[in-house]
Amino acid sequence: MAVSPATKLALIKSIHTLIWVVMVCIIAYVVYSGVSGDINVYSWLAVAAVIVEGLVLWLFKGKCPLTVWASNYSDSRKDNFDIYLPEWLARYNKLIFTTVFVLGLVLMLWQYV
């Protein structure tokens, strides 16, 4: 039995959304570490995870590899065609969470020194 393109897209969107939730939690942990001063190995692993994600986005010219993959199964190019997020959040996602991450990282570094 062949899997339909719509089912494949739904699976990619689900995986993409799950990864997004995990990354948002990681960014929130960076902010928590910076605000609380509770900086530990997990804080630095969280920073490293966000940096790795940034490198992946850079390698894919600003797009998530899952977005590239999802484009094979959808003609839509709305900002949220590849993820279960409101369109406005999908559009400004990188700007919002990069800003939050940088703020958290600055706070972490300030607390660390």
The mean of the pLDDT values for the chain is 97
Tens digit of each residue's pLDDT (9 = 90 or more) over 76-103: 999 999 999 999 999 999 999 999 999 9
Confirm if 29 and 46 have CB atoms less than 8 A apart: yes
Centre a 10 Å sphere on the Cβ of residue 37 and count the other Cβ atoms it contains. Answer: 12
Model confidence at 63, in pLDDT bands (50, 70, 90)?
A: very high
Determine the pLDDT at residue 54: 97
Report whether pLDDT(1) > 90: no
Sequence spans of domains, the chain: 21-112
* d(C-alpha 59, C-alpha 61), whole Å: 6
Residue 91, Cβ density class (10 Å: 0-12 exposed, 13-18 middle, ≥19 buried): middle
pTM: 0.94
**Token digits of residue 109:** 């570094």
Tens digit of each residue's pLDDT (9 = 90 or more) over 3-43: 999 999 999 999 999 999 999 999 999 999 999 999 999 99
Torsion, Cα of 80, 28, 52, 61 (10° steps): 30
**Token digits of residue 67:** 């977005």
**Token digits of residue 80:** 């949220």
